[in-house]
């Protein structure tokens, strides 16, 4: 076992010790882990720290992750998200068990805007929890669905988990941010489709019937009143069309291949979305963020943790690369002689188990790189390897007993959290892990 591999093991133990036993801030754990890894460079430790920090600060993924946090904050404070809810309500709310479908739609939407499982559960659950209970859903089952659907926060791009994986030099050298963005989006669609069929099954099993509304507003009228909310998604649609869609193909035929290739989705999607939000919701934003004090109290705490985690995770990744970790791990896993199906299964089980007590970001910071290398060693292509690992880690929101999403959903539905543990494992943890296995095996394509 080489020096870099030992450094990785110690790094994993430090992070798990810091998060589970000491229960301190994860950003602090990243700093400690970063220093410990650098010490394995011996006399070059200080130079490795400098190289790692410089690499992290010049990594566009760090900028993108912080920009998406700002975008998520602004869309909430602008109340544009309420318009999306009204549209989902008009479209799906009158179906039998309709609020559960609305919760899926809202969770997927929030997943494309924020990336946090717990925040996703809190936001979507606030709108739909009591609505589900009033329309016939058992409280424990409503909490199960809300917590399970919260996993779409990490299941769709952007997410902190995605940024963690892109921050590893060993990953970013093999796939682009655009490829991962689109691949993770496709995997998110698979998860949404599964959740829709799950809700249909539970509706029939529970005998939930349609609830008639006294006041019916047409979908056309609702869209007419809330169309501005949908414009936010142009910030994602336009860069995708220009880079990989038909417009991009047309521009390349005109000899603009270099210009198109230089467009980074992770840079331009948040920039355009923030611009659109500011244009459409500036009056509400001025009202809700009426002073510097409000901005500091509401926005800055979101940067305190995730910024530190990402910065020092990326810096540590660079040090691992300098120590030659990839070559050591490839040799190690090649000697294990596991078949591809078994190795994918073992990686999936490892990620799911670690994601139980840890967050998805902490999980991938500690074992993301070793999981990626393990999958590559048995012939999994880089993109399905990363996406499958992210799918495995997205079970964090549904993994009892430590998931914050479980307690948020249980509080919103006023039910006992323990009643959701087994249903969450049966309906979400195992099936979503199976989806990740199918993606890694190539049975679920990621082409768009």
Give the model's pLDDT for residue 116. Answer: 66
Domain range enclosing 201? 3-441
Residue 224 burial (10 A CB sphere; 0-12, 13-18, 19+): exposed
Q: pLDDT-derived band of residue 351, with 50, 70 and 90 as boundaries?
A: confident
- Is 65 part of a structural domain of the chain? yes
Average pLDDT for 219-223: 77
- Is 448 part of a structural domain of the chain? no
Task: Assess contact for 123 and 110: CB atoms under 8 A.
Answer: yes
Average pLDDT for 212-230: 71
> What are 419-439's pLDDT values in tens digits?
888 899 999 999 999 999 999
Give the model's pLDDT for residue 344. Answer: 93
Q: What angle do CA 57, 305, 191 make, to 5 degrees?
A: 95
> What are 159-194's pLDDT values in tens digits?
778 888 887 877 888 888 778 888 999 999 999 999
- Is 178 part of a structural domain of the chain? yes
Residue with tokens 């179906």, as numbered in its chain = 95
> What are 269-315's pLDDT values in tens digits?
788 888 998 998 888 888 888 888 888 887 877 676 667 777 887 78
Give the model's pLDDT for residue 214. Answer: 44
- Is 9 part of a structural domain of the chain? yes
Whether the model pTM is above 0.85: no
- Is 186 part of a structural domain of the chain? yes
Mean pLDDT over the full length of the chain: 81
pLDDT at 253 exceeding the cut of 80:
no
- Is 152 part of a structural domain of the chain? yes
Helices (H), 78-233: 80-92, 98-111, 117-134, 139-149, 152-155, 160-167, 169-172, 177-206, 219-231
- Is 446 part of a structural domain of the chain? no
Q: Based on the structure, what is the number of domains in the chain? A: 1
């Amino acid at each position: 076992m080489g020096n870099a591999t030992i450094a990785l093991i110690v790094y994993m133990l430090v992070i798990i010790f810091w998060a589970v036993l000491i229960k301190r801030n994860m950003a602090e754990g990243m700093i400690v882990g970063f220093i410990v890894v650098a010490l394995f460079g011996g006399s070059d430790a200080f130079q490795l720290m400098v190289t790692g920090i410089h690499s992290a600060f010049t990594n566009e993924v760090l900028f993108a992750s912080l920009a998406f946090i700002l975008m998520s904050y602004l869309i909430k404070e602008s109340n544009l998200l309420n318009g999306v809810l009204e549209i989902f309500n008009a479209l799906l709310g009158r179906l039998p068990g309709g609020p559960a479908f609305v919760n899926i739609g809202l969770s997927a939407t929030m997943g494309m805007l924020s990336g946090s499982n717990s925040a996703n559960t809190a936001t979507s659950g606030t709108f739909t929890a009591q609505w589900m209970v009033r329309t016939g859903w058992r409280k424990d089952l409503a909490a199960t669905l809300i917590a399970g659907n919260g996993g779409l926060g990490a299941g769709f791009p952007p997410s902190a988990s995605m940024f963690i994986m892109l921050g590893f030099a060993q990953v970013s050298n093999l796939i682009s941010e655009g490829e991962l963005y689109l691949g993770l989006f496709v995997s998110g669609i698979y998860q949404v489709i599964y959740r829709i069929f799950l809700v249909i099954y539970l509706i029939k099993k529970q005998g939930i019937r349609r609830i008639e509304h006294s006041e019916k507003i047409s979908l056309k009228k609702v869209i007419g009143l809330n169309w501005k909310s949908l414009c936010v998604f142009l910030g994602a649609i336009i860069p995708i069309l220009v880079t990989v869609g038909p417009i991009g193909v047309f521009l390349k035929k005109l000899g603009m291949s270099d210009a198109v290739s230089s467009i980074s989705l992770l840079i331009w999607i948040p920039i355009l979305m923030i611009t659109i939000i500011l244009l459409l919701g500036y009056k509400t934003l001025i009202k809700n963020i009426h002073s510097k004090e409000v901005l500091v109290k509401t926005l800055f705490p979101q940067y305190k943790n995730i910024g530190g985690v990402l910065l020092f995770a990326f810096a540590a990744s660079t040090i691992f690369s300098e120590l030659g970790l990839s070559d050591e791990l490839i040799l190690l896993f090649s000697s294990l002689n596991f078949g591809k199906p078994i190795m994918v299964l073992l990686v999936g089980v490892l990620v799911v188990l670690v994601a139980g007590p840890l967050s998805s970001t902490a999980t991938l910071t500690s074992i993301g790189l070793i999981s990626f290398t393990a999958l590559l060693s048995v012939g999994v292509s880089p993109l399905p390897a990363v996406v499958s690992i992210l799918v495995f880690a997205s079970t964090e929101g549904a993994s009892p007993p430590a998931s914050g999403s479980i307690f948020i959903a249980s509080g919103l539905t006023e039910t006992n959290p323990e009643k959701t543990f087994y249903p969450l494992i049966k309906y979400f943890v195992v099936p979503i892990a199976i989806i990740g296995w199918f993606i890694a095996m190539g049975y679920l394509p990621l082409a768009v």
